[in-house]
Amino acid sequence: MIIAAFTMVETLQWINTTFLPQTPVIILLFIYVILCILLVTTSLQTLVILNVFVLFGVVIFGFFVAFTNMQVKDYELLRPFFEHGFQPVLRGMIFPASGFIELLMLLFLQHQFKERIRWYHFAIMLAILVGLTLGPLIGAITEFGPNEATKQRYPAYEEWGLVTIGRYIEHLDFFSIYQWLTGTFIRVSFLLYIVADLLKMTGDPKRIWQMLAPPFFILCLPLIMLNESLFLKVKGHYILAATFIFFFLLSIFFVVVAFLSDKSSKKGKTEKQDRKSGES
């Protein structure tokens, strides 16, 4: 719920900063929470089907902005590699890794999948996520330069501001609204669905509205009231790092449990076979 709340608040701050500066953020929060809870009250299949349609549009728009801005890209700006050594790279890897490692949460929904999740399923999803992360990052550096890209809070949105088709078509940055809002909609709904499933509330819309929606709304309220610079500091220095550490330790715990349970099951089978051979 904390991860979902930070995702929600950051999106609303972006909307309030770029498109709706005169609209009270609490109204935006109220509307968006209702939409997300409505999706949570459906089913995992509905969420997955909706995600397929939404992700298709996001990917298409991503390729569109990438190829359209080729005219203003300078790939020489990516060099020199490792200018300040390898330490800044390792320190920076924590931030995207905190998102990639959230794939572990799919294990909480294994009982709802028709087939077991294999390692290559995770590998494919991780490759897609890496591509979706590297695309806007490389685009921001090649279009604005490393110094300017560092100063921008929403570089992916700024890239849309450069899109022009010929002399008469420009200002296509409204497409970024679709990308950002739909991404947040699916992400927050998925996280809240996992919470509902862990608390045995799936399939019971009344309980979800009563026991999940109010706490989530209340959790988002103090984050909205935070100063934006303080919010970024809390998210960057604490939440992202804590998320990575927590899920990393959780993955190690799962590996140990799986190893021990597999060992005990093999031992049980051996003892059972010994008993049968003794009886015979």
Distance CA(166)–CA(175), nearest Å, equals 18
- Residue 166 covered by a domain: yes
Q: What's the rounded Cα separation, in Å, for the pair 246 and 251?
A: 9
Predicted TM-score (pTM) of this structure: 0.86
Q: Which domain holds residue 44?
A: 2-226
Task: Give the 3-state secondary structure of residue 165.
Answer: strand
Question: In this structure, is residue 253 part of a structural domain?
Answer: no
- Per-residue tens of pLDDT for the chain, all 280 residues: 999 999 999 999 888 888 888 989 999 999 999 999 999 999 889 998 998 888 888 888 888 888 888 888 888 888 888 888 888 888 888 888 888 988 888 888 888 888 888 888 889 989 988 888 888 889 999 999 888 888 888 888 888 888 888 778 877 778 888 888 898 999 999 999 999 999 999 888 999 999 999 999 999 999 988 888 888 888 888 898 899 999 999 999 988 998 888 777 766 666 666 666 666 6
Domain count of the fold of the chain: 1
Phi–psi pair at 170, nearest 5 degrees: -155, -170
User: Is residue 155 one of the residues assigned to a domain?
Assistant: yes
| Rounded Cα–Cα distance for residues 40 and 66 (Å) | 33
